[in-house]
Chain A
Amino acid sequence: MAQVFDRSSNALARASLVLSGLIVIALGVALNSLQRSPWVTRQGQRPDQPVPFSHKHHVEGLGLQCQYCHTSVEKSSYAGIPPTKTCMNCHSQIWTNANLLEPVRQSWATGASLQWIKVHDLPDFVYFNHEIHVNKGIGCASCHGRVDEMPLMYMQNSLQMEWCLNCHRNPAVNLRPTAEIYNMAWTGPSSDKPVWCSATGAVGPTAQQVACVETDPAASNPEMAQMSQPAELSKSAALDKAQTVADVSPAVVMPANYVKFTSQDELGHYLMKQYHIRTANELSSCEVCHR
């Protein structure tokens, strides 16, 4: 009886072995990229919201400060979603008949909450805390991206654990002077645009530790060159004694010894020291986020 398999089948068998190996690898790679894909993380997706609220319009266009709505960002783990009342502060005066705002007026009239969809949604076993990040020199845009350029809110970053750890293992890449926390356009120092910083020697909250300027303090009058101060918006809510970024004017003491920084890395390491940022060991320890 003739052989069932031709000689050429040997090659086929070998090829199929290799192929199945490749398939397994491909599957692994596919699963890996699926896991990190926006389909799973919802990165970049804009869910349907009851009102197509535009951060671009309100922040960039109108110049609203972040804390006008997210009032507890410096004082609590939770930044806060504004109550309907905050919307109505203005929208009882302007755009009072806009169709888009009907759900807001409805909520105001009936007392039922507006039902937003959470865009930045961490798993429930992650205990993220806004106040410590904001008070230690992590700007809003570091995690949330250029919110001022987002007509509809979406998640800029994956918010996956590896992304968190990237910074917790090396916070220097993202640290900025506390006065720049709410500055969406802050890009960090570069050789074109250096930043001069100096320790104030002040005792107390982080916000008082360092003063930074963007023009050479040796060349011009440093007091004039000071960066714009964030408005002191949330003072009335500060029932506890803890002082936060906005409560403190960074220029209480005008220091003399400015250091010039031309890269984010240099500035980051300087600020890590000045702001007493914990070591990478401590920041990436499990209990920091999981309890």
Chain B
Amino acid sequence: MNETRIGIEQAMAVEGGTQEVGAQEAQVVTAIAPAQPSKLKMTLAEVRAKLDGKSGKRYWKSLDELADTPAFQELMQEEFPRQASAGEWVDSVSRRGFLKVMGASFALAGLAGCTKQPEEPIFPYVKQPEDLVLGKPMYFATAHPFPTGAIPVLVKSDAFRPIKLEGNPEHPIAKGKSDAFTQASLLDLYDPDRSQFPRFRGEQADFSRFQQEFAKAVAASKTGDGVVFLSETITSPTLAAQWKQVQAKYPQAKLVQYEPVNNDAGRAASKAAFGDYYDTQYKLEDADVILALDADFLGGIGFPGFLPMSAAWAERHRFDKDKPMNRLYAVETMPTVTGFKAEHRLALKPSEIDQFANALAGGNSTLSNPEAQKFLSVVMEDIKKSGGRFAIVVGPSSSQAAHFAALTVNAGLGAVGKTVFYTETVASIPSEHVSDLKALVADMNAGKVEWLVMLGVNPLYNAPVDLNFEDAFNKVPHRVHLGSHVDETGFYSTWHINKSHYLESWTDARAYDGTISIVQPMIEPLYGGKSAHDVLQTLIDPQVSAYQLVLANAKTYIKAPGGDTAKTVAANVPAPAATGAGNSAAADAAARAALGVARATTPFEMAWRKALHDGWVADTAFVPKTLGAPKGGVTTPASAGSGIEISFRPDPSLYDGRYGNNGWLQELPKQVTNMSWDNAALMNMDLMGKLGIEENEAIELTLNGRKIITPVLMAPGHPNDAVTVHLGLGRRAECGRVGAGVGFNAYALRTSGQPLSAGGLMIARGKGSYDLCVTKVHNIEHRGAFAQRDLEHPEFDTQGTYSLAGHEAMERSIIRYATYEEAMKNPDFAHLGTKDSNDTLVNKVGYNPQGEAVPHDDSFYPDNWRYDHVMEVAAGKVLQNKWGMSIDLNSCVGCNACIVSCYAENNIAVVGREQVKIGRIMQWMRIDTYFEGDLHAPIAHFQPMLCQHCESAGCEQVCPVGATVHTPEGINTMVYNRCVGTRYCSNNCPYKVRRFNFLLYSDYDTESLKLMRNPDVTVRSRGVMEKCSYCIQRIEAVKIEADKNNRAIADGEILTACQQACPTDAIVFGNLNDPKSRVVKRKAEERDYQVLADLNYRPRTTYTAGVINPNAELA
């Protein structure tokens, strides 16, 4: 809105508001590292020197670690960087008061067990729904609508409250997998800051009043002149059909779709090449060579087709001696997970990517950058060798030049029809968003717009800044906003209508492959919200409900078996049942009665029920179109890149800002950078050195005279002279209690002409400093390096008391990988260690090569349990269950879906920015990013880290109260009630996977959040340690079911939440005593290894060493 409110001052000012729990008075703003930023003086040369000095593979996680400053050393010595101090307790008391209270508490300690439970009421149903078995969840299919295509989901519903979302296992594209946004959309439903009633000029008003006023005004205009709907991308066929009806009735009414993150470049390229808009679908299972041109297709559903593409990529990237591996090349600016999973990554600034793309399309032009030229020729050679089994992947972040290059080369070298297909667009009404919005703003400025009806959009926050949307907005007399929150736009609109969540409403939506899913409500709208259907229907027939609309429109695409009666009703939207009905609710009930309660009779009714049950409509996927060669002369001039370039990207966790008030996603450490609750100007060391700036310094970015202030973070592998900023943060107070004021608003620099990247960025220093919230430093496995260093230069350990001897710990082989050739030559590479030229082992760890597992009998400790107890089940004798997990590092793409899934399943609390900064994030699992090699072109390895469920667990041995114990099935379990909070266990955990409730992080008060919690998992209170439980509640539920029927648990019957969400099938869980289980097969592979195996903790979770398939010519 106004630029002065953007940036550091604002972010600092409202930091207190970012916490979800009531620790607002907390005044312990302490940095983790560096304690004093000025101490971190590390030049690029020094970093390089450090890296060069190491032999063998050397991994690092952050600059701090490389720099090895005293502050960092200090951090390493502490288990949790800061203790909770009395000042930050929720009920902070004085020292005197504390002693008084504690004195009394000690005296009454024996009475603590005598707490009398309050009497609890039971509220039974008056009439219980027939199918409901209280205590057993039910599952319903629906879909999560998203601009790039809906994600089909299966909703776990406990007494009709949605409590968990999973991918729909029967859907052709989801196959049971999901992603971080979909998982987190559950929290959006229960967001206490949701708008709860319609407002007229800020006062509570009735929706019916809006309907009357709107309908009257539009009817008075006769043609609909001056009525504009500004909508998000429409992927709902029913909404599109509805719009056609509105258009037929009011031909002058207009529809503009605007998403700040859109595929305009792709649309324009498609229009120029084929004369119409088409979407591209990739079948990566058939691609041997993949080139991603600024396309982060492994990052999340912001990329269309993320689920099938990442699954297909991972399937072809598994190492199998009989199967060739695929090879991924990536050319990109911002280092993404796709870039880091690629065998070869070329970091180019945006203008250079355009040149690269033009050269790629042109065939033989040369590039000034020799590195890029070599990359290009090698890639082209590889592509040509593949004989059409390749794909050049482009996406919403790719420039027009990249899209042209992809169209040309994919067609020219024969990928089209093999791996690349063109189809109709997922968007029902494809359009170019920015140019349409520009035209709309011109109309608004000219006073041609009377009614601006905004459906789920927030243009006051995210419209291109050069359009001055706010000025135009103020010239519109009637501004209607349909939104889930009274957001930046809703606050200034004349009418605000509270939007229903997709889990509360009827609609339909197309997935990436075109398959239509019916979106059905899971719960009565919590606040009586309305959907876009209701708003559009105001102009047609307000009596018809969204349900009737979807039902009627479904007749156009649901093919009933045994007759094509369906097609005949096309576009005749209002259901016949509704015409004479008194009100929509009654008609709704009547229609439901016709279909829901009564037995389905007609073929359509049966097909409709099947569609609702399955979650998708069969035979609605797009059929690939044959389009012929794209029109010639498609190279575009490279965007003029001058000086430092800035690149705008949707935030990996918050997308375009729509998830701003979602605590799970705000707290989620962002891919690659591991930033939480923040965004930053991301750049490389060279640029930082050139400008003389350091991490955490605040700088001023100036682009075309517009300024924002941002902190700086080094992004390893970022190209030189370029800065990446993430959109979606810097939301204003209207965003809600979570998102208000977090980060800076990068939209303030983004113009309509250059939405992806722009040149001519000016950077000014001296704006103070801002301590970014980066979780990387919280869990440092390289304590060994510290011990080593101290051995050589005794500084802290002058007494020689540290138990960790340096020679044991220098290199612990936490990450192991090999190239395809190496792996073929020596399949046991993960256990051989690194040999030098004399064939002697270097980096020998502990007493075994490369930190190998100690023979079982070498332990002082007797086994806790035996795991070979024979159980008799009716089908015969089986060994007892012995749970274990295997994680394939080859497949893990670091997309974070598992972490958010774990949040929802296990009632994990959100702690807020200040608490995350001091290392108290509560996520049970994290994805560690290890970088290797040069800062410019590092290789990165992602490693999900969660409780390893050690058979001989260190945590159990030190717990004074037996709060963490081993179960007979080998799970390291937490008994929350026993925990007294000594934190010894966490201190003794080498994997650093335990999380402690320093404060009361769980929200016990907010009513709406109570509905969301998993009833099978305790909500933890203050002073309790917690950690990954292998989803013990899921194990127990399946065990009970199996025991009832006297059978063994089938493999795959228990899925942990992380495993279920994982789009690439990297995580496998199962019974280690079942020789046929997938997890046993994975663990039997030679590449299987334990992290920190030489400690002899015998972790049940093991990792499969990665294999990459680099091209020798680029090595």
In whole angstroms, what is the CA distance A241 to B987 when docked? 47
Are B1032 and A77 within 8 A (Cβ)? no
CB distance from B22 to the nearest CB of A (A): 22
Give the one of B124, B973, B1016, B1041 with max A CB within 10 A. B124
CB-CB contacts below 8 Å: A110-144 with B: 111-118, 121, 123-125, 127, 129, 131-132, 135-136
Q: Which residues of B contact A286 (CB under 8 A)?
A: 965, 967, 973, 975
Are A85 and B126 within 8 A (Cβ)? yes
CB-CB contacts below 8 Å: B1034-1057 with A: 1036, 1040-1041, 1043-1046
CB distance from A214 to the nearest CB of B (A): 25
Are B110 and A28 within 8 A (Cβ)? yes
Q: Which residues of A contact B122 (CB under 8 A)?
A: 81, 115-118
Of A205, A279, A281, which one neighbours B1046 at CB under 8 angstroms?
Answer: A205
CB-CB contacts below 8 Å: B746-803 with A: none
The proximity string for A residues 235-247 relative to B, scoring 1 for CB distances below 8 Å and 0 otherwise, is 0010100111000
Q: Which residues of B contact A81 (CB under 8 A)?
A: 122, 124
Are B1044 and A132 within 8 A (Cβ)? yes
Nearest to A115 among chain B residues (CB) is B121
Nearest to B973 among chain A residues (CB) is A287
A47 within 8 A of B: yes
Q: Which residues of A contact B123 (CB under 8 A)?
A: 113-115
Contacts A121-B120, A205-B1046, A286-B975 hold; do A78 and B1032 have CB atoms under 8 A apart? no
Are B116 and A40 within 8 A (Cβ)? yes
Contacts A276-B872, A276-B873, A278-B1043 hold; do A121 and B117 have CB atoms under 8 A apart? yes
Nearest to B132 among chain A residues (CB) is A72
A80 within 8 A of B: yes
B446 within 8 A of A: no
A257 within 8 A of B: no
Give the one of B113, B880, B965 with max A CB within 10 A. B113
In whole angstroms, what is the CA distance A239 to B126 when docked? 22
In whole angstroms, what is the CA distance A225 to B746 when docked? 83
Are A285 and B967 within 8 A (Cβ)? yes
Are A209 and B124 within 8 A (Cβ)? no
CB distance from B1047 to the nearest CB of A (A): 8
In whole angstroms, what is the CA distance A71 to B11 when docked? 55
Are B875 and A85 within 8 A (Cβ)? no
In whole angstroms, what is the CA distance A118 to B123 when docked? 10
User: What range describes how many residues of A lie at the interface?
Assistant: 35 or more
B832 within 8 A of A: no
A232 within 8 A of B: no
Of B125, B977, B1029, B1045, which one neighbours A242 at CB under 8 angstroms?
Answer: B1045
CB-CB contacts below 8 Å: B1002-1031 with A: 1016-1018, 1029
B874 within 8 A of A: yes
Are A84 and B1046 within 8 A (Cβ)? no
Contacts A76-B135, A115-B123, A131-B1040 hold; do A209 and B869 have CB atoms under 8 A apart? no
In whole angstroms, what is the CA distance A4 to B880 when docked? 75
B690 within 8 A of A: no
A282 within 8 A of B: yes
B637 within 8 A of A: no
Are A203 and B114 within 8 A (Cβ)? no
Q: Which residues of A contact B119 (CB under 8 A)?
A: 47, 117-118, 121
Q: Which residues of B contact A84 (CB under 8 A)?
A: 124-127
In whole angstroms, what is the CA distance A242 to B976 when docked? 32
The proximity string for B residues 102-130 relative to A, scoring 1 for CB distances below 8 Å and 0 otherwise, is 00000000110110110111111111100
Of A40, A47, A202, A237, which one neighbours B133 at CB under 8 angstroms?
Answer: A237
Are A85 and B874 within 8 A (Cβ)? no
Are B977 and A290 within 8 A (Cβ)? yes
Q: Which residues of B contact A135 (CB under 8 A)?
A: 1043-1044
Nearest to A107 among chain B residues (CB) is B126
Task: Give the number of residue pairs across the A-B interface with Cβ within 8 Å.
Answer: 153
Q: Which residues of B contact A168 (CB under 8 A)?
A: none
B581 within 8 A of A: no
B163 within 8 A of A: no
Nearest to B963 among chain A residues (CB) is A286
User: What range describes how many residues of B lie at the interface?
Assistant: 35 or more
Nearest to B1029 among chain A residues (CB) is A291
B101 within 8 A of A: no
B968 within 8 A of A: yes
B1033 within 8 A of A: yes
CB distance from B1045 to the nearest CB of A (A): 5
Of A125, A205, A282, A290, which one neighbours B1045 at CB under 8 angstroms?
Answer: A205
Q: Which residues of A contact B111 (CB under 8 A)?
A: 31
The proximity string for B residues 126-142 relative to A, scoring 1 for CB distances below 8 Å and 0 otherwise, is 11100101111000000
A92 within 8 A of B: no
Nearest to B159 among chain A residues (CB) is A78
Q: Which residues of A contact B871 (CB under 8 A)?
A: 276, 278
Q: Which residues of A contact B116 (CB under 8 A)?
A: 39-40
CB distance from B566 to the nearest CB of A (A): 29
B406 within 8 A of A: no
CB distance from A71 to the nearest CB of B (A): 8
Of B124, B968, B1017, B1040, which one neighbours A132 at CB under 8 angstroms?
Answer: B1040
In whole angstroms, what is the CA distance A136 to B1039 when docked? 13
A174 within 8 A of B: no
Are A243 and B1045 within 8 A (Cβ)? yes
Q: Which residues of B contact A111 (CB under 8 A)?
A: 126
In whole angstroms, what is the CA distance A243 to B1042 when docked? 11
Contacts A203-B875, A288-B1036, A291-B1036 hold; do A76 and B973 have CB atoms under 8 A apart? no
Of A113, A129, A203, A206, which one neighbours B124 at CB under 8 angstroms?
Answer: A113
Of A83, A131, A244, A291, which one neighbours B1016 at CB under 8 angstroms?
Answer: A291
B971 within 8 A of A: yes
CB-CB contacts below 8 Å: A12-63 with B: 28, 31, 34-35, 39-40, 42, 47
Of A35, A76, A112, A237, which one neighbours B113 at CB under 8 angstroms?
Answer: A35
A182 within 8 A of B: no
CB-CB contacts below 8 Å: B136-150 with A: 136
In whole angstroms, what is the CA distance A210 to B134 when docked? 30
In whole angstroms, what is the CA distance A42 to B114 when docked? 12
Are B125 and A136 within 8 A (Cβ)? no
Nearest to A201 among chain B residues (CB) is B874
Nearest to B125 among chain A residues (CB) is A83
CB distance from B979 to the nearest CB of A (A): 11
Of A77, A82, A205, which one neighbours B1044 at CB under 8 angstroms?
Answer: A205
Contacts A83-B128, A204-B1045 hold; do A75 and B872 have CB atoms under 8 A apart? no
CB distance from A159 to the nearest CB of B (A): 10
Are B869 and A279 within 8 A (Cβ)? yes
In whole angstroms, what is the CA distance A244 to B133 when docked? 14
A258 within 8 A of B: no
Contacts A28-B110, A112-B126 hold; do A125 and B133 have CB atoms under 8 A apart? no
In whole angstroms, what is the CA distance A290 to B976 when docked? 8
Nearest to B1047 among chain A residues (CB) is A204
Q: Which residues of A contact B127 (CB under 8 A)?
A: 83-85
Contacts A76-B136, A83-B127, A291-B1018 hold; do A117 and B117 have CB atoms under 8 A apart? no
Are B114 and A34 within 8 A (Cβ)? yes
Are B1046 and A276 within 8 A (Cβ)? yes
CB-CB contacts below 8 Å: B174-230 with A: none
Contacts A84-B127, A285-B967 hold; do A206 and B114 have CB atoms under 8 A apart? no
Are B126 and A108 within 8 A (Cβ)? yes
Are B121 and A35 within 8 A (Cβ)? no
Are A239 and B1045 within 8 A (Cβ)? no
Are B967 and A287 within 8 A (Cβ)? yes
Are B131 and A239 within 8 A (Cβ)? yes
Contacts A113-B123, A117-B122 hold; do A242 and B971 have CB atoms under 8 A apart? no
CB distance from B989 to the nearest CB of A (A): 19
**Beyond A114-B124, A290-B975, A290-B976, 7 additional pairs, beta carbon < 8 A:** A77-B136, A107-B126, A125-B976, A136-B1043, A209-B1046, A287-B1029, A291-B1033
12 A-B contacts, Cβ less than 8 Å apart? A72-B134, A76-B135, A84-B127, A85-B126, A113-B124, A115-B122, A206-B1044, A278-B871, A282-B968, A286-B975, A287-B971, A291-B1033
The 4 closest A-B pairs by CB, nearest first: A78-B135, A76-B135, A83-B125, A113-B123
